[in-house]
Amino acid sequence: MSATIISAIRALGRLVLRALAGLGQVVLFAGSTLTHIVRPPFYPREFFSALMNVGYLSLPVVGLTAIFTGAALALQIYSGGSRFNAPEVVPQIVAIGMVRELGPVLVGLMIAARVTSSIAAELATMKVTEQIDALVTLSTAPLKYLVMPRVLAGILAGAILVAVADSIGIFGGFAVATQILGFNSTTYILNTINFLTGEDIISSLAKGAAFGFIATLMGCYFGLNSGRGAQGVGAATKSSVQAAAVLILTANLLLTAVFFTA
């Protein structure tokens, strides 16, 4: 075996080991965070502030993304369905597409873009300016004061945002179907309601909660483990969004498999 191949295998091995070590650290971090959920002290003010940031302030971008996606989905399904004489499936497919997949995934990615990056940048800046050390010297655990409120807010806001995105996305499909494609509005609504099951909605909300957890956890993890200076803050922000997006898409596949193939 040539030296080039051996060095390539070594490099691959190092990469895999580093990735596994990183994953292990994230799992430990997540474990520590979750154990703090049930142990006092609690910081309700920090929780509500995080809920405002993660949830309420994400509503405009989530709403816009959902309505345009739902509307485009209706046009696509109508066009695709017409190829095999089934354009009437628009309400059902828009509903199932938004609730099972697009709503949760879009919300997850929007939170990753908007919230993960801001949490990572904020905590990384706090780290490089010694504010995290200051917290510790003031007898306050950063995991409890900074991480837990954000992660809890991420879980709750993720589920709520998905419910909002699902509803607005379905409304986007409804608007296009009834105003442009000539669907009857009552029939559209009835078809949507009758087609969706409780399992669809529960899976959607569960995915939202899981993606909110991942997005906020990644922001906190990379923020608290950032390198020094402006470059460290930038790298932490970039890595947090990348990791959150990849983990959200991976978790989406796993959760879909759990909910719909078991």
Partner 1 sequence: MIKFDNIHKSFGANQVLRGVDLTLERGQSMVIIGGSGTGKSVLIKTVLGLITPEIGKIYVDGQDVTQAKRDNFLSQFGMLFQGGALFDSMPVWQNVAFRLQRGHLKRPKAEAREIAIEKLRRVGLAPDVADRLPAELSGGMQKRVSLARAIAAEPEIIFFDEPTTGLDPIMSRVINELIREIVVEMGVTAMTITHDMTSVQTIADKVAMLHGGVIQWCGTRDDMAHSGDPHVDQFVHGRAKGPIETLC
Comparison of 134 and 180: residue with beta carbon closer to partner 1: 134
Q: Is 41 in the site for partner 1 (CB under 8 A)?
A: yes
Phi, psi for residue 93 in degrees, rounded to 5? -75, -35
CB atoms within 10 A of CB 184: 11
Task: Name, in order, each residue with C-beta under 8 angstroms of 215's C-beta and a sequence gap of 6 or more.
Answer: 108, 111, 112, 115, 116, 154, 158, 244, 248
Least separation in angstroms between CB 116 and partner 1: 18
Count of residues of this chain found to bind partner 1 when the rule CB under 8 A is applied: 13
* 86: three-class secondary structure by DSSP: coil
Least separation in angstroms between CB 125 and partner 1: 8
| Spatial separation of the C-alpha atoms in residues 232 and 226, rounded to whole Å | 5
**By rule CB under 8 A, what string of x and - marks binding of each residue 161-200 to partner 1?**
----------------------------------------
Comparison of 100 and 144: residue with beta carbon closer to partner 1: 144
Tokens in use for 157?
């806001």
Least separation in angstroms between CB 126 and partner 1: 8
Task: Return the DSSP state at 214.
Answer: H
Task: Please give the angle made by the CA atoms of 112, 113 and 115, to the nearest 5 degrees.
Answer: 65
* 220: three-class secondary structure by DSSP: helix
Instruction: Using alpha carbons, select from 61, 20, 30, 65 the residue that is nearest to residue 221.
Output: 30
Footprint (CB under 8 A) of partner 1, residues 79-138: 126, 129-131, 133-138
Task: Name, in order, each residue with C-beta under 8 angstroms of 132's C-beta and a sequence gap of 6 or more.
Answer: 123, 126, 142, 146, 224
Comparison of 130 and 199: residue with beta carbon closer to partner 1: 130
Comparison of 135 and 255: residue with beta carbon closer to partner 1: 135
Comparison of 145 and 259: residue with beta carbon closer to partner 1: 145
Comparison of 93 and 128: residue with beta carbon closer to partner 1: 128
Least separation in angstroms between CB 18 and partner 1: 16
Least separation in angstroms between CB 122 and partner 1: 8
Least separation in angstroms between CB 127 and partner 1: 10
Binding site for partner 1 (CB under 8 A): 41, 126, 129-131, 133-140
